[in-house]
C-alpha cells in the first residue's frame, strides 16, 4: 500500500466516525474534539486530514460515487446501459465493507435538507465522480475528453444520478419506503438516459 493510499484509508476511517456522529448528534452539535476522540487520533490530525468539519464526510461519500464510476469503466461498448447495470448492480452492492459505507452515505444524504453545510462535501464527492465519467463518455462517444459536449454529458449524468441518490436516500430514511435493487437500478438507468446528450446509452459498436 502506498503512502497515498494509506492516507486515504486513514481519512476514510475518520470519515466513517464523523458520518456516524453527524447522523446521531447533528452537524452543529458535533465538535472536532468528538470526531478525534471517536477516531482515536488528535484533533490536530483531524484538521491535517480535512480542511473543514463538513469535509470530514467527503471520503465516505466518495466511496460509492467512485465505485460506481469504476464499474462504468467496465461497461462494454456492445451493451446498453440497461443491460450492463441490470447484470452488474447486485455485485456492486454486495460487498460488506461497501454496504456499511453506503448506509453511512445514505444517512448523510437523507439529512441534507436540515444540514445544508454537508451539501458541499456531497458536491465535492460527486465532482470527483464526474471527472472519472468524462473519460467514460469520451470513450463511448469516440471523442476527446476535452470536447465540450463530452464534459456537458458527464456533468448532466452526474447531476441526474446525484438527484436519484438523494431522492432514494430520503425516501428510505425519511419516508420509510422500501426501494429494491431493481427499482433503484431502473431509476438510475432512466436518469442516465434522460441526461445523456450524446448517444452513449446504447451499443456503440
Q: What is the mean pLDDT of residues 111-131?
A: 95
Over the stretch 56-76, which tens digit does the pLDDT of each residue have? 999 999 999 999 999 999 999
Q: Are 111 and 61 in contact (CB under 8 A)?
A: no
Q: What is the pLDDT of residue 90?
A: 81
Contact (CB, 8 A) for 36 and 70: no
pLDDT in the model for residue 33: 96
Please provide the size of the chain in residues: 205
Measured torsion, CA atoms of residues 200, 202, 203, 205, in degrees rounded to the nearest 10: -50
pLDDT value of position 108: 97
pTM for the model = 0.91
Angle between helices 119-141 and 58-72 (to 10 degrees): 10
Between 180 and 154, residue with greater pLDDT: 154
What pLDDT score was predicted for residue 2?
Answer: 57
pLDDT above 60 (res 177): yes
Q: Model confidence at 3, in pLDDT bands (50, 70, 90)?
A: low
* pLDDT > 70 fraction of the chain, expressed in percent and rounded: 97
Write down the pLDDT at residue 136.
97
Instruction: Indicate the pLDDT class of residue 77, thresholds 50, 70 and 90.
Output: very high
pLDDT score recorded for residue 166: 97
Amino acid at each position: 500500500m502506498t503512502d497515498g493510499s494509506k492516507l486515504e484509508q486513514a481519512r476514510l476511517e475518520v470519515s466513517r466516525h464523523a458520518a456516524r456522529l453527524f447522523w446521531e448528534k447533528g452537524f452543529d452539535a458535533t465538535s472536532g474534539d468528538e470526531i478525534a476522540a471517536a477516531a482515536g487520533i488528535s484533533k490536530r490530525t483531524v484538521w491535517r486530514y480535512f480542511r473543514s468539519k463538513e469535509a470530514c464526510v467527503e471520503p465516505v461519500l466518495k466511496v460509492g460515487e467512485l465505485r460506481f464510476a469504476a464499474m462504468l469503466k467496465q461497461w462494454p461498448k456492445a451493451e446498453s446501459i440497461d443491460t450492463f447495470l441490470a447484470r452488474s448492480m447486485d455485485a456492486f452492492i454486495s460487498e460488506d465493507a461497501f454496504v456499511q459505507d453506503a448506509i453511512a452515505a445514505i444517512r448523510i444524504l437523507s439529512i441534507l435538507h436540515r444540514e445544508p453545510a454537508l451539501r458541499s462535501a456531497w458536491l465535492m464527492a460527486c465532482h470527483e465522480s464526474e471527472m472519472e465519467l468524462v473519460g467514460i463518455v469520451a470513450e463511448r462517444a469516440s471523442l476527446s475528453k476535452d470536447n465540450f459536449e463530452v464534459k456537458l454529458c458527464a456533468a448532466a449524468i452526474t447531476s441526474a444520478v446525484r438527484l436519484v441518490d438523494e431522492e432514494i436516500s430520503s425516501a428510505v430514511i425519511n419516508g420509510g419506503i422500501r426501494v429494491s435493487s431493481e427499482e433503484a437500478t431502473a431509476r438510475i438507468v432512466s436518469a442516465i438516459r434522460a441526461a445523456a446528450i450524446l448517444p452513449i446509452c446504447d451499443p456503440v459498436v
